[in-house]
Amino acid sequence: MKFSIQREALLVPISQVVGVVERRQTLPVLANFLLEVDEDQLRVTGSDMEVEMVGTVSAEVAQSGAVTVPARKLVDICKALPEGVRIDVQLNGEKLALHAGRSRFTLATLPAAEFPSSDASGDADRLEVPEDRLHWLIEKTSFAMANQDVRHYLNGLLLEFRSGLLRAVATDGHRLALAEMEASVDGEGRSLILPRKGVVELSRMLGDEEESAQLALGRNFVQVTRRGLTLTSKLIDGRFPDYEAVIPMSQDKAMQLDRIAFIQALQRAAILSNEKYRGVRVESIDGAIRIVAHNPQQEEATEEIEAEHNYDGLVVGFNVNYLLDALGSISGERVRLSLKSADSSCLVTAVDSDDVRQVVMPLKL
């Protein structure tokens, strides 16, 4: 194997793909990149057996071949090299030699045959989605995923494909985030649960360009391709909760208020909230709401901001972090908080749009 490539050209795929490579691996080869050169292309693959990412870039290939090399060492070497330098790469026996200007590096390798191949085979439904909109869906919902919950299906993001609609939903049992967008989905569609690692890497991979990303939906995998990068992720096998039953539909108590003013008031009150439970009390008073926070040191913070509401005397507790996350994911100047009672879940939406819906469970204070 022998090829030559500009430093900047090589940095693009390896910087993306290295995110998939875990620092602690059960198999030594999983700490490596799989490098494959053929004709005028270099393919860089990283995998942790659950998520695989492949980056493709043009290169001057003198001799085809494939080998695996330590991923993070290769990234560190490329980052440390001066800008604009050309890197000559050659496999000599079981060592990979890199020459760049006056720098020389020799890396240990493992055979390409030991590198695991992805299970992305078989029939798959295919569709195209604007890259920036898919990124938007993930950004508005992924923060509500559970982390290492015993209910493994909560440790991921539900993607639901309906006729003309693509929806993302995440919940950790204490809050729920839902976002939806129009998409060219035919028929009844399907739903799948993408694991946390796949969600994180997909978010890193996607940008805010309006170009289309290609999705392939297999029985046990999803594959997303855009501009020289392909991510393949296994799916979580499980039944996602009936999230629509959690979203409150008939709420007779509602308040509307300025989103930024509400966020700033919550941030100030949170300074004196209980560090463990992060609770704040929201009270509806005449023409305003009052936010109160206490902590075990008997300290107290009180904030009042103007609000339109239809019910004086409502007192409800929230985890302030959950409320701030919900408000931060919503765009628009004004937000609406709707609920049945102090013991019911609270629906948070923008006043002029419901394409993003956040549900926050109350907290007993």
What is the model's pLDDT at position 188? 67
Looking at the structure, do residues 51 and 89 belong to the same domain, yes or no? yes
Looking at the structure, do residues 147 and 226 belong to the same domain, yes or no? yes
Looking at the structure, do residues 109 and 212 belong to the same domain, yes or no? no
Looking at the structure, do residues 269 and 290 belong to the same domain, yes or no? yes
Integer Cα distance of 65 and 59 in angstroms: 13
Identify the domain boundary among 64, 81, 114: 114
- The token pair at 260 is 């930024």
Looking at the structure, do residues 146 and 90 belong to the same domain, yes or no? no
Structural domain range at position 288: 247-360
What is the model's pLDDT at position 328? 97
Task: Answer positive or negative: Cα dihedral of 125, 131, 132, 138.
Answer: positive
Residue 106 lies in a domain: yes
Here the CATH number for the domain that contains residue 267 is 3.10.150.10
Integer Cα distance of 169 and 78 in angstroms: 38
Closest CA to 272 of 294, 302, 303, 305: 294
What is the model's pLDDT at position 209? 86
Residue 57 lies in a domain: yes
Residues of the chain with confidence (pLDDT) below 50: none
Identify the domain boundary among 245, 264, 291: 245
Residue 48 lies in a domain: yes
Looking at the structure, do residues 196 and 288 belong to the same domain, yes or no? no
Q: What is the DSSP string of 292-337?
A: EEE-TTS-EEEEEEE-EES-TT-EEEEEHHHHHHHHHT--SSEEEE
What is the model's pLDDT at position 183? 84
Residue 365 lies in a domain: no
Under 8 Å between Cβ of 280 and 303: no
Integer Cα distance of 281 and 276 in angstroms: 15
Residue 119 lies in a domain: no
Residue 206 lies in a domain: yes
Q: What pLDDT digit, counting tens, does each position of 280-294 carry?
A: 999 999 999 999 999
What is the model's pLDDT at position 117? 86
Looking at the structure, do residues 209 and 266 belong to the same domain, yes or no? no
Identify the domain boundary among 114, 143, 177: 114
Number of domains in the chain: 3
> Cα torsion at 293, 295, 298, 302 (round to 10°)?
-10
Looking at the structure, do residues 209 and 276 belong to the same domain, yes or no? no
Residue 276 lies in a domain: yes
Looking at the structure, do residues 269 and 318 belong to the same domain, yes or no? yes
Q: What pLDDT digit, counting tens, does each position of 29-73 carry?
A: 999 999 999 999 999 999 999 999 999 999 999 999 999 999 999
Looking at the structure, do residues 339 and 318 belong to the same domain, yes or no? yes
